[in-house]
Structure 1
Amino acid sequence: MSAFDQKPLNEQFHTLFVAPVQAFVSLGVDASEKLISAQLDAQKAYLEMGLTQTRQLIEVKDGAELKAYMEGQQGVAKNFVERVKSDADQVSSIQRDFLSQSQKLTEQNVQKAQEAAQNFSKSA
């Protein structure tokens, strides 16, 4: 009576199921980490902008300083809009990268599954 060698079955299971799941989870974790980092950076920048403006407004002592402060708000708004656009571009880039990498993983896994199916049909 010969012993059943389970090693090839385990390797095939790992190749077809475990490794792809691990790759997709890893990709998802990496993308999440990048998104969270981008969000935290953006929040910090927006908070600093708001606090800076609040401090400047607190320092206003007369009408001339108030006028100067108000005139400077157009530049602040422009900087804010540019920052928001930059942050949105960064998030879009992260999403595009995730989509591209997940498509590559899917294609690789489909190819591996097809090869395994062909090998299985040849050996059967």
Structure 2
Amino acid sequence: MTQAATAKTGEQFDTLFMTPMRAYGALNLETAEKLMATQFGIAESLSEATLAQARDWLSVKSAEDVQKTLEGQQQAMQSLGDRLKSDAATLLSLGQDYVQKSQKLAEQQFKALGSQ
């Protein structure tokens, strides 16, 4: 009888605590991975744009080159602005997805508690 009670207690502990903790841990890890990937993408884009502009300025030899470089800078800034807007939407979506999944996990946890 003691083994059966111990097994039942272990089962309940796993159902009520360990399984939800694993699910939250997996959700947090997944979200952190997506967040870091987005942040690295942003950093890479900014770095590439900055280096490209530096190369353009190093190749300036005339007034016409200055004009072309300034126009290139405007285009680069527009492109970066579009990228940042897209990345902001991605981050917002990531946050909303995290909240929805967390709520779903919490609901499942409450149902599991109610059935015990």
Which TM-score bucket, shorter chain as reference? over 0.9
- Aligned partner letter, 1:50: T
Q: What does 1:60-75 correspond to in 2, within 5 Å?
A: 60-75=60-75
Gaps of 5+ in 1: 117-124
TM-score norm. by structure 1 comes to 0.88
Alignment RMSD (CA, Å)? 1.1
Q: What does residue 122 of structure 1 align with?
A: none
1:60 and 1:38 map into 2 onto residues whose CA distance is 34
Q: What does residue 9 of structure 1 align with?
A: 9
Q: What does residue 120 of structure 1 align with?
A: none
| Secondary structure in structure 1 of the residue aligned to 2:60 | coil
2:69 and 2:86 map into 1 onto residues whose CA distance is 25
Q: What does residue 22 of structure 1 align with?
A: 22
Q: What does residue 32 of structure 2 align with?
A: 32
Aligned length in residues: 115
- Aligned partner letter, 1:64: E
Deviations along 1:38-86, one digit per CA (max 9) or x if unpaired, are 1011101110011011101110101111012112322221111101111
Q: What does residue 113 of structure 1 align with?
A: 113
Alpha carbons 2:45, 2:80 under 8 Å: kept: no
Q: What does residue 95 of structure 1 align with?
A: 95
- Aligned partner letter, 1:49: A
Q: Which has the larger radius of gyration?
A: 1
Q: What does residue 44 of structure 1 align with?
A: 44
Identity of aligned residues (%): 31
1:109 and 1:41 map into 2 onto residues whose CA distance is 35
- Aligned partner letter, 1:76: A
